[in-house]
Amino acid sequence: MRIVSGIQPTGNLHLGNYLGAIRNWVRMQDEWTAQGHDCLFFLADLHAISMPHDPAGLRANTREMVAALVSCGIDPDKSILFNQAQVPAHAEMQWLLNGTARMGWLNRMTQWKDKAGKNREGASVALFTYPVLQAADVLLYQATHVPVGEDQKQHLELARDVAQKFNNDFGSEDAPVFTLPDPIIPPEAARIMSLRDGSAKMSKSDPSDMSRINLTDDADAIMQKVKKAKTDPEPLPATIEGLEGRAEARNLVGIFAAMAGVTPAEVLVQFEGKGFGAFKPALGELLVETLSPMATRYRELREDIEALDAILCKGALKARDLAAPTLARTYEALGLVRG
């Protein structure tokens, strides 16, 4: 069994990343490495160049994301923490899988449709083939489990399709080349929504910083963002059915539940009949309590660039070793002569 997952170093780590993915990474790391399984977590810097970007910003964000992950509990002595650019096997494997992935599969990806918008002709080729690189990321290590938020489910299904077709075309039934990976999606926090719009996911690319809680926000900023979060004038209902059609209210209740480690129904038992004037300060305090120690640690860690680079180098060396056998086998299966 092997866990692999990634995050783009394209800005701050926000509450959606934390509740949707990173918290699960930390839990799985602690449980699985104790049983001798490998956990690989990487910065998807090669994915980050699929959109227009500033090289100096990417360089800084890469280091900052390492600091953020470590401050959330990713332990570089337990997990293998690295960035794609230092493990060339990711880019190589993508090319090898490009022969298997179908244009039609990629055309159906909702992220491609959303990010390219109406300007498909002007979108980068990397944005279109992005899911093939994501398939390479996990298949390269024979990942069995991939902890992600709901928005990555479709990309993981594509990785399974690529693996299955490659195994059919170039493997044999008793010796498949690739393992089919299973996505692990948290039930309560699969999709954390924007604080300004309950129909849009919380995202780094939202131009409004008020739409998200960042790991780097101080207590005042968190309380302010929660206070200003969009809601409705109704009090909280007794049951979750009563949240139907109230996307913003449902999102805040979901965040409270995920942070407190209870179900949304249990949150409503506590707050039934109360307005947001009472609920929001309680939610703000809960967020500050959990996120503040991480933010403090993050501010210390981000200063030591050498230590952050050393973490990435050490992780990359281990990742290269783990990637090598599957990469060699893939070249071999395709009939590519390498001496």
List residues near ligand TYM by CB under 6 A: 5-8, 16-17, 20-21, 44, 47, 134, 137-138, 146, 148-149, 151-152, 191-192, 201-203
The residue among 19 and 267 lying less far from ligand TYM, judged by its C-beta, is 19
The residue type found at 9 is: P
Closest CA to 58 of 49, 50, 66, 67: 49
CA atoms of 327 and 180, how far apart (whole Å): 16
* Residue with the shortest CB distance to ligand TYM: 20
Closest CB 81 distance from ligand TYM, rounded Å: 14
CA atoms of 130 and 98, how far apart (whole Å): 11
Closest CB 25 distance from ligand TYM, rounded Å: 9
Catalytic residue among 153, 165, 204, 230: 204
Tokens of 251: 């999102």
Closest CA to 80 of 151, 4, 150: 4
The annotation status of 202 as a binding-site residue, yes or no, is: yes
Closest CB 79 distance from ligand TYM, rounded Å: 14
Closest CB 235 distance from ligand TYM, rounded Å: 26
The annotation status of 314 as a binding-site residue, yes or no, is: no
The residue among 70 and 148 lying less far from ligand TYM, judged by its C-beta, is 148
Element (DSSP H or E) covering residue 47: helix 45-48
The annotation status of 75 as a binding-site residue, yes or no, is: no
113 is catalytic: no
Cα–Cα distances in Å, from 63 out to 29, 129, 229, 313?
Answer: 21, 26, 30, 12
The residue among 151 and 217 lying less far from ligand TYM, judged by its C-beta, is 151
E strands of the chain, at which residues? Answer: 2-7, 38-43, 80-83, 145-147, 182-184
The annotation status of 10 as a binding-site residue, yes or no, is: yes
230 is catalytic: no
201 is catalytic: yes
The residue among 111 and 307 lying less far from ligand TYM, judged by its C-beta, is 111
CB atoms within 10 A of CB 31: 12
The annotation status of 149 as a binding-site residue, yes or no, is: yes
Residues acting as catalytic residues? 115, 201, 204
Binding annotation for L-tryptophan = 137
